[in-house]
């Protein structure tokens, strides 16, 4: 394995492909790193950039380059993340949390950010052999932003653009067609354990079996899920542990969820309920599969539908999926 990718666990095909692209000087103008969140897509992008910038460079200079990439201040790299708009200011997810901003809708890649990419790529690289742009959660681009990016992908100049997304279907086909696809996969159980241990989250392996089950081979999702679980009040978790059994309880539960949790936490709660309710269905405690209304709710929340309305409709529908021995008045 290339020494630049030693921090990446798993993803051997992706690493081999990218390593050979650099060694053979056949770096594409655009890549699509496609696969589930939390399996090493962004980390692999970091390592790929380091290999590009450090190839044929003296060892002492390589260390300086790696440090600048680690600090996120290399002049020839632009790392783009979805943002919230708060009082006219764009904030990433981490910045929104630090600022205590209550997030009512998921963050997105905005058209202004695509314009900034175009401006960044309009100049020649200052230190590196090429400019590199990484767009995380590229699936959050609105259509206008995606169309604006299309023009940049057609003529990127002396640059490489890396899009990171969960699935090919989450992007416009015209974007996908201009990128070289690099697939990423969920990790095996032993690989999951290694990542969690190396990142100081080994306690998840012993204390969070439900979170691990929901993460499905994604250590990043396991870490994020554990953090989300800690933000949800115990009383609320108990209240949603089983489907509501009446119209009143469904509406009250929807009110509590909307009042207590931001959108990111609500989206994770839907994953949590999918797991819990599916287990109840397999045990014969629910008459019908609870997955369709929960899947639909995720689509609605991600599309900026009013959260309380989404939960009211979803929980009312799920309230029909009652244990067979319970009758609803």
Asked if residue 82 lies in contact with residue 106, where contact means CB atoms within 8 angstroms, the answer is yes
Q: Span 139-148, mean pLDDT?
A: 92
Average pLDDT of the chain is 91
Q: What are phi and psi of 228, to 5 degrees?
A: -65, -40
- How far apart (Å, rounded) are the C-alpha atoms in residues 79 and 246? 48
pLDDT of residue 91: 86
Contacts of 251 (CB under 8 A, 6+ apart): 312, 315, 316
Percent of the chain whose pLDDT exceeds 70 = 96
Range in 24-28, 74-78, 225-229, 261-265 with the lowest mean pLDDT: 261-265
Listing DSSP states for 19-34 in one string gives HHHHHTT---SEEEEE
| Higher pLDDT, residue 154 or 178 | 178
Contacts of 314 (CB under 8 A, 6+ apart): 254, 293, 294, 296, 297
Angle, helix 307-318 to helix 247-260, in steps of 10 degrees: 150
pLDDT of residue 328: 41
Q: Is the pLDDT of residue 62 over 50?
A: yes
How many CB atoms sit inside 10 A of residue 39's CB? 28
Long-range CB contacts for residues 280-283, cutoff 8 Å, separation at least 24: 280/242, 280/323, 281/321
> Among all chains, which residue has been given the structure tokens 């690099």?
182
Q: Which of 241, 306, 248 is nearest to 269 (CA)?
A: 241
Q: Is the pLDDT of residue 104 over 80?
A: no
Q: Is the pLDDT of residue 128 over 70?
A: yes
pLDDT in tens, 180-232: 999 999 999 999 999 999 999 999 998 889 999 999 999 999 999 999 999 89
Asked if residue 178 lies in contact with residue 154, where contact means CB atoms within 8 angstroms, the answer is yes
Q: Is the pLDDT of residue 279 over 60?
A: yes
pTM of full prediction above 0.85: yes
> Among all chains, which residue has been given the structure tokens 């959108």?
263
Q: Where are the beta strands (DSSP E) in the chain?
A: 30-34, 77-80, 84-86, 89-91, 131-135, 159-165, 180-183
**Residue 322: pLDDT band by 50, 70, 90 thresholds?**
low
- Options 3.30.1330.10, 3.40.50.300, 2.30.40.10, 3.30.559.10; which CATH number does 3-185 get? 3.40.50.300
- How far apart (Å, rounded) are the C-alpha atoms in residues 215 and 7? 20
Asked if residue 149 lies in contact with residue 114, where contact means CB atoms within 8 angstroms, the answer is yes
Reduced to 3 states (helix: H, G, I; strand: E, B; else coil), residue 188 is coil
Contacts of 208 (CB under 8 A, 6+ apart): 222, 225, 226, 229
H helices, E strands: number in the chain: 16, 7
* Span(s) in the chain for CATH 3.40.50.300: 3-185
**Residue 131: pLDDT band by 50, 70, 90 thresholds?**
very high
- How far apart (Å, rounded) are the C-alpha atoms in residues 48 and 18? 7
Sheet holding 159-165, edge to edge: 77-80, 131-135, 159-165, 30-34, 180-183
Q: Span 235-261, mean pLDDT?
A: 93
Q: Is the pLDDT of residue 325 over 50?
A: no
Contacts of 316 (CB under 8 A, 6+ apart): 247, 250, 251
- How far apart (Å, rounded) are the C-alpha atoms in residues 324 and 200? 44
């Amino acid at each position: 394995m290339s020494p630049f990718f030693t921090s990446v666990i798993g993803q051997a095909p992706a690493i081999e492909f990218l390593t050979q692209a650099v060694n053979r000087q056949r770096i594409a103008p655009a890549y699509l790193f496609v696969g589930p969140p939390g399996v090493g897509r962004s980390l692999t992008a970091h390592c790929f950039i380091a290999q590009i910038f450090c190839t044929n460079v003296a060892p002492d200079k390589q260390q300086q380059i790696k440090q600048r990439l680690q600090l996120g201040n290399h002049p020839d790299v632009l790392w783009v993340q979805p943002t919230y708009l708060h009082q006219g200011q764009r904030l990433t997810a981490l910045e929104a949390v630090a600022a205590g901003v209550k997030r009512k809708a998921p963050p997105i890649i905005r058209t202004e950010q695509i314009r900034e990419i175009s401006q960044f790529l309009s100049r020649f690289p200052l230190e590196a052999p090429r400019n590199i742009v990484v767009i995380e959660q590229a699936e959050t681009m609105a259509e206008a932003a995606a169309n604006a990016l299309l023009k940049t992908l057609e003529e990127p100049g002396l640059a490489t653009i890396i899009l990171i997304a969960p699935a090919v279907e989450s992007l416009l086909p015209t974007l996908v067609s201009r990128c070289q696809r690099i697939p990423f996969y969920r990790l095996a159980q032993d690989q999951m354990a290694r990542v969690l241990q190396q990142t100081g989250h080994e306690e998840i392996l012993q204390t969070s079996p439900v979170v691990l089950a929901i993460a499905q081979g994604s250590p990043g999702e396991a870490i994020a899920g554990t953090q989300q679980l800690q933000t949800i009040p115990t009383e609320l978790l108990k209240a949603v542990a089983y489907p509501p059994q009446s119209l009143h309880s469904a509406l009250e539960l929807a009110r509590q969820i909307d009042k207590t949790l931001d959108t990111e936490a609500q989206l994770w709660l839907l994953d949590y309920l999918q797991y819990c309710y599916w287990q109840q269905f397999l045990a014969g405690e629910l008459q019908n599969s609870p997955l369709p209304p929960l899947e639909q709710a995720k689509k609605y929340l991600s599309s900026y539908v009013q959260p309380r309305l989404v939960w009211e409709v979803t929980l009312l529908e799920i309230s029909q999926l009652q244990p067979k021995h319970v009758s609803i008045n």
